[in-house]
Structures are given as C-alpha cells and as structure tokens.
Amino acid sequence: MAESRVHTQFKLTSDDHVWADVGEEVTLPCHLPPDTSAVATTIRWFKETECIYLYQNGQVTERSGYEGRVSLITQELERGNVSLRLRDFRRSDTGDYICQVIHGEQKEEAAVCLWYIRGKCSRTPVMFLNT
C-alpha cells in the first residue's frame, strides 16, 4: 500500500489559460508539489460555481453533462497531479474552472480559464507575394 505524503501545508499550481477546439481532449492543469501525494485528499473541480467532478476516498462523482467526459489521471495522484482531463470538448465547456484540494483543515484552490479556439494555429509565418 502506498504511503500518504500530504504535507500539513501545500500549495496548488496551475496555468492561467488553456485552449481547445471542439471534439478535442484537453487537460486542465493543477498540481501539488511533486513530493506530495493527493491520494488521501478530497479533490473538487468546479466550472464557475458548479461542482462537475468530485474525488473523495477513492470514489468519483461526475455532474450530469460531464459523465464519461471528465477524469483525473489516477496513476499521477501519488505525484501530486490533480489535473482534470476533459474529453470531447464542447463550446459550452468554455469558462472558468476551479481546482480545489482539501486535506484535513486545509483547503487550497487554483483557477484556470478554458477557451475555445477554432482550428489550429500555425507557428510558421505565411507570406503572400503579389506578382
């Protein structure tokens, strides 16, 4: 059995913005320090004010409309990765998300904004010459 290593004080880190196109799988990043296990914590993901995903005591609850589309990477919980994977991105998924981790009396939150982007951006500049 893995030893639980949640420190009495912990901080969450996340990216400010993530972009996705319709139908894609996107990961909303959220991390405890790498030496901090999240296995014995309560993890909640909110879209705006609605809880869309709850992980508690190894049990998962998903909000209607997100069933089968959201998950944690459970094998990464031991390393502090509490990122939410969202499959089949829809335009209605755009918005502000909050990752909340609770251990004992401590509660930490981190925010990430999920934006809709149509198509892929090319990193190679394209020039058109009139001849």
Please report, to the nearest 10 degrees, the dihedral formed by the alpha carbons of residues 103, 104, 109, 115 taken in order.
Answer: 50
pLDDT of residue 51: 98
pLDDT of residue 11: 87
In the β-sheet with 106-116, what is the strand arrangement from edge to edge? Answer: 17-20, 106-116, 95-103, 42-47, 50-56, 59-62
pLDDT of residue 84: 98
pLDDT of residue 125: 45
Output the pTM of the full model: 0.82
- Which residue type, as a one-letter code, is found at position 72? L
pLDDT of residue 130: 54
Intervals of the chain under pLDDT 50: 1-5, 7, 122-128
| CATH class given for the domain over 17-114 | mainly beta
